[in-house]
Amino acid sequence: MVENGNIKCQLCGCEISKENSHIFKGATLCEDCHMEETHPVQTCDPKAVYSAKILDQEDKPSGKDTLDDQQKALYRFVTDKGKVTLQEICAELNLSPVRAQNQIAILRHLELVKGKKEGDKTYIVPF
């Protein structure tokens, strides 16, 4: 047992506390790296990251024009249905859960959709 201080993620080298560490194939990983290692590797979508970055710099996101087609379709799906689950989004748009969550995160960031907990389920609803 290491009692003092933090340990390092063996992949990215960031410092993590013991309780946030994950052991994967004998390596100590941080939350993020563990997620990446245990989920199918998604090709990074530079455009999504880029638009999210741009929007970070703006106080008021200028709306739906900056969305890509997939994000628009996702947004339309959410507004049409009123509330949807992640599974429904994956099925409707043929996305992997990781990809769908990324897209939802972007829409959340734009304040177009938000998560809503009902019982033990989380729905995505229009903002």
Q: Which of 3, 4, 5, 9 is in the footprint of Zn ion by CB under 5 A?
A: 9
Minimum CB–partner distance for residue 36 and Zn ion (Å): 8
Which range, of 5-13, 19-27, 40-48, 89-97, touches Zn ion by CB under 5 A? 5-13
Of the listed pieces 6-14, 80-88, 96-104, 114-122, which binds Zn ion according to CB under 5 A?
6-14
> Under the criterion CB under 5 A, does residue 27 sit at the interface with Zn ion?
no
Give the separation between CA 74 and CA 113, rounded to whole angstroms. 10
Residues within window 30-69 making contact with Zn ion, judged by CB under 5 A: 30, 33
Of 32 and 88, nearer to Zn ion (C-beta) is 32
30 touches 21 (CB < 8 A): yes
CB of 14 to Zn ion, least distance (A): 5
Backbone angles phi, psi at 24, to 5 degrees: -135, 120
Nearest of 90, 88, 87, 79 to residue 114 by alpha carbon: 79
**Range list of β-strands (E), 1-127:** 7-8, 15-16, 22-24, 27-29, 84-85, 113-118, 121-126
Binding stretches for Zn ion (CB under 5 A): 9, 11-12, 30, 33
